[in-house]
Amino acid sequence: MDYPWLRELFGHAQVKMEFRISAIEMLLNEAQLSRWDATKAQVTHTLKLPRHRASNDAEIIQRTYMALVANE
């Protein structure tokens, strides 16, 4: 999780973190969790973004979440 890195970043900037970070699993129900891997694989294939770039990884997670929620 990125929390320790963000806490340090905000600390150096002397800005109070006024939000919490939780794992994506905390937002999903059991049905969504069971479809997460397959949906993420499809999103990753569709977007064809280079992996392991923070912005690309975040977009993949966001779009996967959006796809799961849209199918409810």
3-state secondary structure of 7: helix
pTM attached to this predicted model: 0.73
The per-residue pLDDT for range 5-46, each reduced to its tens digit, is 888 999 999 999 998 888 888 889 999 999 999 999 999 999
So where are the chain's domains? 24-72
Average pLDDT over residues 47-72: 88
- Give the residue ranges of DSSP H helices in the chain: 3-13, 30-47, 54-70
pLDDT of residue 1 exceeding 60, the answer is no
Phi-psi region of 49 (alpha: psi -120 to 50; beta: other; left: phi over 0): beta
